[in-house]
Structure 1
Amino acid sequence: MKYQEDLDIAQENKADNKRLGKQMRRTPERKLDEIFHAEHEKAFQDIDCLECANCCKTTSPIFRDVDIKKLAKRFRVKPIQFIDQYLRVDEDEDYVLKLAEPCPFLFDDNSCSVYEDRPRACSEYPHTDRKKMFQIIPLTLTNAEICPAASRIVEAMRNI
């Protein structure tokens, strides 16, 4: 994989990331958001999701009711039929893909067959350009092990 080095760095620094998370929590909220957003823009100048698609190959998004309705409509089935065919309830009581590896909507060229109707969790991934980043620091540290862009962003955060 082209971006494997970024994922390896995240894995190597996994233990240190707890300390980094504490450091991030001490950063004023607005400043933390500004840094994250700047690093998000920088990372995605170099990273092409279609060359990677590791998130689609290794994890499942959470499907909210609105996502299920939208995709059921796309497939011209009832929401319950979509659920029965593609989803299961996880340990957090969220709907996720039955088979998360890889996503059943992922084409061989890493494009998404339901891109226009993809779940919100997919369209916002890796969630590094949202407001109130302090709320999802643990998620961001986890995503660094899945997404090379998130890995680069987390590594840049070591300099705050």
Structure 2
Amino acid sequence: MADFLNSNWQKRSADHQKQYKQWLQRADKNKVLKQLPDAHEAAFENVNCLNCAACCKNYSPRFKTPDIKRISKHLKLKESVFIDTYLKLDEEGDYVVKSTPCSFLGADNYCTIYDVRPSDCERFPYTDEDVLLKRPNITLKNSTFCPIVVFVLEKLSKAPNP
């Protein structure tokens, strides 16, 4: 899996959604959580996010109050100006970016506010925490556009139980 981004992972993900869903439903949580750190590390060794950035190009994190405070301070903007300039409320009442790709994504796929990015961005793609199993619908959605999630699901779903 040396060059995972060039490995037709999108087709594999599309073809394996049913298998991923079944695996997420029956996976032994304790065993998977023990395997997760190694799978997560291996994924990031095989996929360079800067060559992809599909998350930043197509989706938005939630901007929670602490995120808004931290980012607006960093940008030297009043919180209300930051919100009016960059954010909108979605159907669930969360602040998200007004448009995609994210306004803070540079042409080189680097985040211009990386050090103060929203906590959702910092945690994404949740492949090193129990969200992977606790929120299978999120995991499945993320597997449609994030090669890291596909890598981890493939690795864990094929891993023998220790």
TM over 0.5: yes
Partner of 1:92: 92
Counterpart of 1:34 in structure 2 is: 34
TM-score (norm 2): 0.87
Q: How far has the Cα of 1:131 moved from its partner?
A: 4.2
Aligned to 2:77: 77
Matched residue of 1:15: which SS? helix
Distance apart, 1:76 and its partner CA: 1.2
Partner of 1:142: 141
Amino acid in structure 2 at the alignment position of 1:66: P
Which has the higher mean CA deviation after the structures are superposed, 2-11 or 123-132? 2-11
Q: How does 1:4-83 map to 2 (within 5 A)?
A: 5-24=8-27, 27=28, 29-83=29-83
**Cα displacement (A) at 1:8:** 2.4
Q: Contact between 1:33 and 1:133, CA under 8 Å: does it hold in 2?
A: no
Between the aligned partners of 1:70 and 1:122, the Cα distance in structure 2 is 14
- SS in structure 1 of the partner of residue 145 of structure 2: coil
Matched, 1:126 2:125: yes
Equivalent AA in structure 2 for residue 52 of structure 1: C
Q: Which residue of 1 aligns with 2:155?
A: 156
Alignment gaps of 5+ in structure 2 = none
- Give the C-alpha shift of residue 130 in structure 1: 1.7
1:106-157 per-position Cα deviation (integer Å, ceiling 9, x unaligned): 1111111111111111111101112464322321221111210111111223
SS at match of 2:96: strand
- Cα distance in structure 2, aligned partners of 1:17 and 1:39: 15
Runs of 4 or more consecutive aligned structure 1 residues displaced over 4 Å after TM superposition: none
SS at match of 2:9: helix
1:3 to 2, 5, 12: 5
Work out the CA distance in 2 between the residues paired with 1:134 and 1:54: 22
> Percent same amino acid among aligned pairs?
34
Note the aligned Cα RMSD (angstroms): 1.7
> Larger deviation: 108-117 or 30-39?
30-39
Contact 2:105/2:112 (8 A) holds in 1:
yes
Taking structure 1 as the reference length, what is the TM-score of the superposition? 0.88
Paired residue total: 155
Deviation by residue 1:65-103 (Cα, 9 ceiling, x = unmatched): 01101111112111111111111111221111110x211
- Is the 8 Å Cα contact of residues 32 and 133 (structure 1) preserved in structure 2? no
